[in-house]
Protein backbone atom coordinates (compact mmCIF):
# COMPACT_ATOMS: atom_id res chain seq x y z
CA UNK A 1 0.00 0.00 0.00
CA UNK A 2 1.02 3.61 -0.46
CA UNK A 3 2.04 5.05 2.92
CA UNK A 4 2.01 8.61 1.51
CA UNK A 5 -1.76 8.66 2.04
CA UNK A 6 -1.05 8.75 5.76
CA UNK A 7 1.86 11.18 5.61
CA UNK A 8 0.45 13.75 8.03
CA UNK A 9 -0.44 11.12 10.64
CA UNK A 10 2.87 9.28 10.25
CA UNK A 11 4.75 12.49 11.04
CA UNK A 12 3.19 12.54 14.49
CA UNK A 13 4.96 9.32 15.55
CA UNK A 14 8.50 8.23 16.33
CA UNK A 15 10.00 4.80 16.77
CA UNK A 16 11.32 4.01 20.23
CA UNK A 17 13.24 0.81 19.47
CA UNK A 18 13.75 -1.57 16.59
CA UNK A 19 14.39 -5.24 17.37
CA UNK A 20 14.44 -6.53 13.81
CA UNK A 21 17.61 -5.71 11.88
CA UNK A 22 20.20 -7.81 10.07
CA UNK A 23 23.91 -7.10 9.63
CA UNK A 24 26.69 -8.83 7.79
CA UNK A 25 28.84 -11.12 9.87
CA UNK A 26 31.51 -13.73 9.34
CA UNK A 27 31.06 -17.45 9.63
CA UNK A 28 34.28 -19.42 10.13
CA UNK A 29 36.28 -16.57 8.61
CA UNK A 30 33.87 -16.31 5.64
CA UNK A 31 31.82 -13.17 5.25
CA UNK A 32 28.04 -13.72 5.11
CA UNK A 33 26.67 -10.94 2.95
CA UNK A 34 22.95 -11.67 3.25
CA UNK A 35 22.67 -8.19 4.78
CA UNK A 36 24.82 -5.12 4.26
CA UNK A 37 26.51 -3.02 6.91
CA UNK A 38 28.20 -3.54 10.20
CA UNK A 39 26.84 -3.49 13.70
CA UNK A 40 28.32 -0.03 14.25
CA UNK A 41 26.74 1.41 11.09
CA UNK A 42 23.35 0.09 12.19
CA UNK A 43 23.80 1.57 15.66
CA UNK A 44 24.79 4.94 14.20
CA UNK A 45 21.69 5.00 11.99
CA UNK A 46 19.47 4.14 14.95
CA UNK A 47 21.05 7.00 16.95
CA UNK A 48 20.49 9.38 14.03
CA UNK A 49 16.83 8.45 14.04
CA UNK A 50 16.59 9.01 17.80
CA UNK A 51 15.92 5.41 18.86
CA UNK A 52 16.52 4.46 22.49
CA UNK A 53 17.45 0.87 21.67
CA UNK A 54 18.47 -1.15 18.64
CA UNK A 55 18.46 -4.93 18.33
CA UNK A 56 20.41 -7.04 15.86
CA UNK A 57 18.50 -10.19 14.93
CA UNK A 58 20.38 -12.20 12.35
CA UNK A 59 18.80 -15.39 11.03
CA UNK A 60 18.87 -18.49 13.22
CA UNK A 61 21.63 -21.07 12.75
CA UNK A 62 19.45 -23.64 10.95
CA UNK A 63 19.04 -21.65 7.75
CA UNK A 64 21.08 -23.35 5.04
CA UNK A 65 22.38 -20.24 3.30
CA UNK A 66 22.48 -17.37 5.77
CA UNK A 67 22.01 -18.80 9.24
CA UNK A 68 24.20 -17.26 11.92
CA UNK A 69 26.13 -19.99 13.72
CA UNK A 70 25.83 -19.92 17.47
CA UNK A 71 29.65 -19.62 17.59
CA UNK A 72 29.36 -16.17 15.98
CA UNK A 73 27.15 -14.84 18.76
CA UNK A 74 29.93 -14.38 21.29
CA UNK A 75 31.96 -12.36 18.80
CA UNK A 76 28.92 -10.22 18.07
CA UNK A 77 28.41 -9.65 21.79
CA UNK A 78 32.05 -8.62 22.19
CA UNK A 79 31.57 -6.05 19.44
CA UNK A 80 28.38 -4.92 21.12
CA UNK A 81 30.13 -4.45 24.48
CA UNK A 82 32.76 -2.25 22.85
CA UNK A 83 30.15 -0.18 21.05
CA UNK A 84 28.02 0.10 24.16
CA UNK A 85 30.97 1.78 25.91
CA UNK A 86 31.35 4.17 23.00
CA UNK A 87 27.64 5.02 22.69
CA UNK A 88 25.95 5.51 26.02
CA UNK A 89 22.83 7.14 24.55
CA UNK A 90 21.43 3.95 23.01
CA UNK A 91 20.97 0.43 24.27
CA UNK A 92 22.35 -2.23 21.93
CA UNK A 93 20.83 -5.71 22.05
CA UNK A 94 21.89 -8.95 20.42
CA UNK A 95 18.95 -11.11 19.45
CA UNK A 96 18.16 -13.66 16.78
CA UNK A 97 15.39 -14.26 14.26
CA UNK A 98 15.01 -17.97 14.95
CA UNK A 99 13.41 -20.23 12.38
CA UNK A 100 10.12 -21.99 12.92
CA UNK A 101 10.88 -25.54 11.80
CA UNK A 102 7.88 -27.86 11.86
CA UNK A 103 4.90 -29.17 13.79
CA UNK A 104 7.08 -30.01 16.80
CA UNK A 105 7.11 -26.34 17.72
CA UNK A 106 10.89 -26.40 17.89
CA UNK A 107 12.96 -23.45 16.76
CA UNK A 108 16.50 -23.72 15.43
CA UNK A 109 17.59 -22.04 18.67
CA UNK A 110 17.30 -24.45 21.60
CA UNK A 111 16.11 -23.43 25.03
CA UNK A 112 19.71 -23.74 26.28
CA UNK A 113 20.88 -21.37 23.53
CA UNK A 114 18.07 -18.94 24.30
CA UNK A 115 20.08 -17.55 27.19
CA UNK A 116 22.85 -16.38 24.88
CA UNK A 117 20.55 -13.80 23.37
CA UNK A 118 18.96 -10.69 24.80
CA UNK A 119 15.75 -11.66 23.02
CA UNK A 120 14.46 -14.18 20.48
CA UNK A 121 12.20 -13.47 17.52
CA UNK A 122 10.64 -16.34 15.59
CA UNK A 123 9.62 -16.43 11.95
CA UNK A 124 8.92 -18.77 9.07
CA UNK A 125 11.41 -18.85 6.17
CA UNK A 126 12.19 -21.22 3.36
CA UNK A 127 15.62 -22.85 3.68
CA UNK A 128 15.20 -24.54 7.03
CA UNK A 129 14.93 -28.31 7.13
CA UNK A 130 15.32 -29.49 10.74
CA UNK A 131 15.15 -33.15 11.70
CA UNK A 132 12.63 -34.12 9.02
CA UNK A 133 14.04 -32.57 5.85
CA UNK A 134 11.65 -34.30 3.44
CA UNK A 135 8.51 -33.12 5.17
CA UNK A 136 10.01 -29.61 5.57
CA UNK A 137 10.85 -29.52 1.85
CA UNK A 138 7.29 -30.57 1.00
CA UNK A 139 5.87 -27.83 3.21
CA UNK A 140 8.15 -25.17 1.69
CA UNK A 141 7.29 -26.41 -1.80
CA UNK A 142 3.55 -26.28 -1.14
CA UNK A 143 3.83 -22.79 0.37
CA UNK A 144 5.95 -21.61 -2.53
CA UNK A 145 3.42 -22.98 -5.04
CA UNK A 146 0.60 -21.34 -3.13
CA UNK A 147 2.36 -17.96 -3.22
CA UNK A 148 3.49 -18.28 -6.84
CA UNK A 149 0.03 -19.27 -8.07
CA UNK A 150 -1.66 -16.21 -6.61
CA UNK A 151 -2.98 -18.06 -3.57
CA UNK A 152 -2.55 -15.06 -1.29
CA UNK A 153 -4.92 -12.98 -3.38
CA UNK A 154 -7.48 -15.75 -3.55
CA UNK A 155 -7.23 -16.40 0.17
CA UNK A 156 -7.79 -12.75 1.01
CA UNK A 157 -10.84 -12.71 -1.23
CA UNK A 158 -12.12 -15.95 0.24
CA UNK A 159 -11.62 -14.80 3.81
CA UNK A 160 -13.32 -11.52 3.14
CA UNK A 161 -16.31 -13.44 1.83
CA UNK A 162 -16.00 -15.88 4.72
CA UNK A 163 -15.45 -18.71 2.29
CA UNK A 164 -12.10 -19.86 3.59
CA UNK A 165 -13.06 -23.51 3.38
CA UNK A 166 -13.58 -23.24 -0.35
CA UNK A 167 -10.19 -21.64 -0.99
CA UNK A 168 -7.69 -23.44 -3.23
CA UNK A 169 -9.21 -26.75 -4.43
CA UNK A 170 -5.96 -28.71 -4.06
CA UNK A 171 -4.31 -27.14 -1.07
CA UNK A 172 -7.42 -25.99 0.75
CA UNK A 173 -7.49 -26.31 4.48
CA UNK A 174 -4.64 -28.78 4.77
CA UNK A 175 -1.79 -26.38 4.11
CA UNK A 176 -3.34 -23.61 6.17
CA UNK A 177 -3.99 -26.03 8.99
CA UNK A 178 -0.41 -27.35 8.95
CA UNK A 179 1.16 -23.88 8.78
CA UNK A 180 -1.06 -22.68 11.61
CA UNK A 181 0.00 -25.64 13.76
CA UNK A 182 3.68 -24.89 13.06
CA UNK A 183 3.22 -21.27 14.09
CA UNK A 184 1.09 -21.80 17.17
CA UNK A 185 3.22 -24.69 18.48
CA UNK A 186 6.39 -22.60 18.11
CA UNK A 187 4.79 -19.64 19.87
CA UNK A 188 3.34 -21.63 22.78
CA UNK A 189 6.43 -23.79 23.27
CA UNK A 190 9.06 -21.05 23.05
CA UNK A 191 7.25 -17.85 23.97
CA UNK A 192 9.44 -15.68 21.72
CA UNK A 193 9.44 -11.93 22.23
CA UNK A 194 7.76 -11.51 18.86
CA UNK A 195 6.69 -13.52 15.85
CA UNK A 196 8.03 -11.91 12.67
CA UNK A 197 5.97 -11.16 9.54
CA UNK A 198 3.10 -13.59 10.39
CA UNK A 199 1.52 -14.80 7.16
CA UNK A 200 4.55 -14.11 4.97
CA UNK A 201 5.44 -17.03 2.64
CA UNK A 202 2.77 -19.18 4.25
CA UNK A 203 -1.00 -19.00 4.54
CA UNK A 204 -2.20 -19.49 8.09
CA UNK A 205 -5.21 -18.86 10.28
CA UNK A 206 -4.13 -15.55 11.72
CA UNK A 207 -6.81 -15.63 14.41
CA UNK A 208 -5.37 -18.87 15.80
CA UNK A 209 -1.87 -17.36 15.66
CA UNK A 210 -3.11 -14.23 17.45
CA UNK A 211 -4.77 -16.36 20.13
CA UNK A 212 -1.46 -18.20 20.70
CA UNK A 213 0.35 -14.85 20.93
CA UNK A 214 -2.24 -13.63 23.43
CA UNK A 215 -1.65 -16.73 25.57
CA UNK A 216 2.16 -16.62 25.31
CA UNK A 217 2.50 -12.84 25.64
CA UNK A 218 4.28 -12.79 22.27
CA UNK A 219 4.12 -9.60 20.24
CA UNK A 220 2.92 -9.75 16.63
CA UNK A 221 5.17 -7.98 14.19
CA UNK A 222 4.06 -5.53 11.55
CA UNK A 223 7.02 -5.85 9.23
CA UNK A 224 8.11 -2.68 7.47
CA UNK A 225 9.93 -4.53 4.66
CA UNK A 226 7.47 -7.36 4.00
CA UNK A 227 3.72 -6.89 3.59
CA UNK A 228 2.74 -8.86 6.72
CA UNK A 229 0.93 -8.42 8.93
CA UNK A 230 -1.34 -7.36 6.10
CA UNK A 231 -4.13 -4.83 6.61
CA UNK A 232 -6.76 -7.57 6.67
CA UNK A 233 -4.79 -9.76 9.04
CA UNK A 234 -4.12 -6.79 11.31
CA UNK A 235 -7.87 -6.33 11.67
CA UNK A 236 -8.31 -10.02 12.49
CA UNK A 237 -5.39 -10.13 14.94
CA UNK A 238 -6.63 -6.98 16.67
CA UNK A 239 -9.74 -8.91 17.82
CA UNK A 240 -7.42 -10.53 20.39
CA UNK A 241 -5.60 -8.99 23.30
CA UNK A 242 -2.26 -8.86 21.52
CA UNK A 243 0.47 -6.26 21.41
CA UNK A 244 1.95 -5.26 18.06
CA UNK A 245 5.55 -4.31 17.32
CA UNK A 246 6.87 -2.75 14.13
CA UNK A 247 10.11 -4.24 12.82
CA UNK A 248 12.12 -2.57 10.09
CA UNK A 249 13.66 -5.91 9.04
CA UNK A 250 16.55 -3.77 7.79
CA UNK A 251 19.06 -5.65 5.65
CA UNK A 252 21.25 -2.55 5.46
CA UNK A 253 21.95 0.25 7.96
CA UNK A 254 19.84 2.91 6.24
CA UNK A 255 16.64 0.92 6.76
CA UNK A 256 17.19 0.52 10.52
CA UNK A 257 14.45 2.32 12.43
CA UNK A 258 12.08 2.60 9.42
CA UNK A 259 8.45 2.15 10.38
CA UNK A 260 6.24 4.23 8.02
CA UNK A 261 4.96 1.34 5.86
CA UNK A 262 4.09 -0.75 8.89
CA UNK A 263 2.34 2.06 10.70
CA UNK A 264 0.43 3.03 7.55
CA UNK A 265 -0.98 -0.52 7.35
CA UNK A 266 -2.03 -0.31 10.99
CA UNK A 267 -3.79 3.00 10.34
CA UNK A 268 -5.46 1.59 7.22
CA UNK A 269 -6.71 -1.31 9.36
CA UNK A 270 -8.17 1.15 11.85
CA UNK A 271 -6.17 -0.27 14.76
CA UNK A 272 -5.15 2.08 17.58
CA UNK A 273 -1.42 2.96 17.32
CA UNK A 274 -1.29 2.80 21.14
CA UNK A 275 -1.28 -1.00 20.70
CA UNK A 276 2.15 -0.84 19.07
CA UNK A 277 4.79 -1.24 21.77
CA UNK A 278 7.61 0.58 20.02
CA UNK A 279 6.11 3.74 18.62
CA UNK A 280 5.10 6.88 20.49
CA UNK A 281 3.54 10.19 19.63
CA UNK A 282 6.09 12.97 19.34
CA UNK A 283 5.85 15.47 22.15
CA UNK A 284 6.68 18.43 19.94
257 binds Zn ion (CB under 5 A): no
- Cα(143)–Cα(146) distance, rounded to whole angstroms? 5
- 95/151 with CB nearer Zn ion: 95
For residue 125, the minimal CB distance to Zn ion (Å) is 6
For residue 123, the minimal CB distance to Zn ion (Å) is 4
- Cα(232)–Cα(237) distance, rounded to whole angstroms? 9
Kindly tell me which residue out of 18, 106, 167, 249 binds Zn ion, with binding defined by CB under 5 A: 249
Stretch that binds Zn ion, among 82-90, 119-127, 204-212, 229-237 (CB under 5 A): 119-127
- Cα–Cα nearest to 25, from 59, 53, 51: 59
37 binds Zn ion (CB under 5 A): no
For residue 112, the minimal CB distance to Zn ion (Å) is 23
For residue 59, the minimal CB distance to Zn ion (Å) is 7
For residue 259, the minimal CB distance to Zn ion (Å) is 15
228 binds Zn ion (CB under 5 A): no
- Edge-to-edge strand list for the sheet holding 244-247: 17-18, 53-59, 91-99, 119-123, 194-195, 219-223, 244-247
Backbone angles phi, psi at 53, to 5 degrees: -150, 150
Binding residues with Zn ion: total (CB under 5 A): 4
- 97/108 with CB nearer Zn ion: 97
- Cα(206)–Cα(9) distance, rounded to whole angstroms? 27
108 binds Zn ion (CB under 5 A): no
123 binds Zn ion (CB under 5 A): yes
Strands 219-223 and 244-247: parallel
For residue 57, the minimal CB distance to Zn ion (Å) is 6
- 97/167 with CB nearer Zn ion: 97
Distances (CA, A) of 197 to 5, 50, 163, 168: 23, 24, 24, 22
For residue 197, the minimal CB distance to Zn ion (Å) is 6
146 to 205, contacts with Zn ion by CB under 5 A? 196
- Applying CB under 5 A, the residues found at the interface with Zn ion are 97, 123, 196, 249
Amino acid sequence: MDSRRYQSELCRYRMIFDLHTHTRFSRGGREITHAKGTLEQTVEEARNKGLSAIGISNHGPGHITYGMPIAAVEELKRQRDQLQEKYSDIRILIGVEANIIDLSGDLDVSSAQYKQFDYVLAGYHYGIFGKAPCSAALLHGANWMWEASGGRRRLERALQAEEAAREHPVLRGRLIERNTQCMTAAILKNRPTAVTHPGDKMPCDIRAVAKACETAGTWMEINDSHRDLSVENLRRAAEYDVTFVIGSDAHGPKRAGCFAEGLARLLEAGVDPARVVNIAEKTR
